[in-house]
Amino acid sequence: MADSNEMDNHSESGSSNDSSSSRQSNLHSLSSCISEPETPSTERSLLFEGSFNISWHPDTEFIVVVGGLGYIGSHTCLELIKSGFNIVIIDNLSNAYRNVFDHLGELAEKYWETQGRPVPLMRFYEADYGDADAIREILKEFIKPPTLEGGGSNDGVLRSRVKGVIHFGGFKSVSQSIQEPLKYYTNNVAGMIRFCEALQDFNIKTLIFSSSATVYGSVANIGVPLMEEYCTHKAETFMDHNGQFKTVQGGCSGLTNPYGRTKWMCEAILSDLAVADPEWTIVALRYFNPVGCDESGILGEDPRGVPTNLMPVIMRVMTGVSPALLVFGTDYPTADGTAVRDFIHVTDLAHGHIAALAAAADGRIPKGFRTYNLGSGTGASVLDIVRVVERLSDTKIPMKIVDRRDGDVGTCVANSMRARLELDWKTEKSLETCCRDILNFFACRKEGLVPVGV
Which one of 24-32, 82-90, 224-232, 406-414 is the stretch in contact with ligand UD1 (CB under 6 A)?
406-414
**x/- track of binding to ligand UD1 for residues 213-252 (CB under 6 A):** xx-----x--------------------------------
Which one of 30-38, 147-155, 197-205, 407-415 is the stretch in contact with ligand UD1 (CB under 6 A)?
407-415
- Residue at shortest CB range from ligand UD1: 339
**x/- track of binding to ligand UD1 for residues 141-180 (CB under 6 A):** -------------------------------xxx------
Question: Which of positions 356-385 make contact with ligand UD1 (CB under 6 A)?
Answer: 382
What is the nearest approach in angstroms of ligand UD1 to the Cβ of residue 438? Answer: 13
Closer Cβ to ligand UD1, 133 or 331, answer by number: 331
**x/- track of binding to ligand UD1 for residues 300-329 (CB under 6 A):** --------xxx--x-----------xxxx-
Closest CA to 365 of 414, 415, 425: 425
What is the nearest approach in angstroms of ligand UD1 to the Cβ of residue 171? Answer: 9
Closest CA to 292 of 427, 123, 399, 172: 427
Q: Given the residues 125, 184, 230, 259, select the one marked as catalytic.
A: 259
Closest CA to 318 of 249, 239, 398: 398
Query: What gap in Å lies between CA 139 and CA 366, rounded to an integer?
Result: 26
Q: Give, in order, the Cα–Cα distances in Å from 176 to each of 29, 59, 308.
A: 40, 43, 9
β-bridge mates for residue 85, sequence order: 34
Cβ–Cβ < 8 Å for 130, 191? yes
Closest CA to 299 of 81, 62, 50, 54: 81
**Has 111 been annotated as catalytic?**
no
Q: H or E stretch including 139?
A: helix 132-140
> Is the alpha carbon torsion for 428, 429, 431, 432 positive or negative?
positive
Cβ–Cβ < 8 Å for 385, 431? yes
**x/- track of binding to ligand UD1 for residues 12-51 (CB under 6 A):** ----------------------------------------
**In terms of residues, how long is the chain?**
454
Residues in contact with ligand UD1 by the rule CB under 6 A: 172-174, 212-214, 220, 260, 287, 289, 308-310, 313, 325-328, 339, 341, 382, 405, 408-409, 412
